[in-house]
Structure 1
């Protein structure tokens, strides 16, 4: 009986260890990309501190960094995957995350918001919001960061 319990515990530890190793290995390219983008942003912009780093995949892929510049203003930095120009906007020049969510809820039947993140599309900086509607359909809703105007919807997936 003790041998069975010992082997069950040992097997559980091995399985959990393997799962952790797979997860870390799978996240490695994303973490490496974020680190390279942070280094590039620090070298090419006046970002002084970092608050958040996320990855956005639209027509082009960007690492989106929020933080403060050397003047203490909150900024957003979009670092493209290739050696294209970095885009920097002041947080105050766009609508807030809360305002974007309120507009989404005011115009759509939202059951659950899955994510809200900044991105970059051909029209410029956007808020990308993914949500489930009352029928549990997946929906994407995009607002222009600077004006809060609706840009695009992808509904009922």
Structure 2
């Protein structure tokens, strides 16, 4: 083998090891979130009466919550907040608050540009929609639609 072929094989092996290492690290780092998501789904169905789940997200505010959207046994749309560090499960009927779309509109009225994410969460002892636009987060009260805070990173 010539020195050029050996170098090429060495570079290929090195790049392969780096790529597989990165993929392994990503898989290992995602595992806790996926396990938490599965637990949130189980809690929502067993303790909050959710019969079908349409979305699970994680909200990180004053405390961390898993947010589960779905339907209850009466076929009503519900939002469930499951705190990571407590057993107090909070259940809200979607019809009793503002929608995600209304929260986006309120955020835009208060300076938001392109919206990248909307998450149901809990802030200052009340349910909220957290709207992310760029590096700014808007906390919009679920009940009433009032802008509670606007924070940039």
Provide TM-score, normalisation by structure 2. 0.86
Secondary structure in structure 2 of the residue aligned to 1:72: coil
Structure 1 stretch displaced more, 44-53 or 30-39: 30-39
Q: How far apart are the structure 2 equivalents of 1:152 and 1:86?
A: 24
Counterpart of 2:147?
Answer: 150
Does residue 118 of structure 2 align to residue 116 of structure 1?
A: yes
Does residue 53 of structure 2 align to residue 50 of structure 1?
A: yes
- Give the structure with higher Rg (CA): 2
Q: How many residues align?
A: 150
Equivalent residues in 2 for 1:55-134, closer than 5 Å: 55-108=58-111, 110-132=112-134
Secondary structure in structure 1 of the residue aligned to 2:145: coil
TM-superposed CA distance for 1:40, in Å, is 1.9
Does residue 23 of structure 2 align to residue 20 of structure 1?
A: yes
TM-superposed CA distance for 1:9, in Å, is 3.4
Structure 2 unaligned residues grouped into runs of 5+:
none
The Cα offsets for residues 4-49 of structure 1, whole Å up to 9 and x where unpaired, read as 4444333333222111110111122222222222222222121011
Provide TM-score, normalisation by structure 1. 0.84
* TM-align CA RMSD: 1.9
Structure 1 unaligned residues grouped into runs of 5+:
133-137
Counterpart of 1:135?
Answer: none
Counterpart of 1:35?
Answer: 38
TM-superposed CA distance for 1:125, in Å, is 0.7
TM-superposed CA distance for 1:3, in Å, is 4.4
TM-superposed CA distance for 1:113, in Å, is 2.4
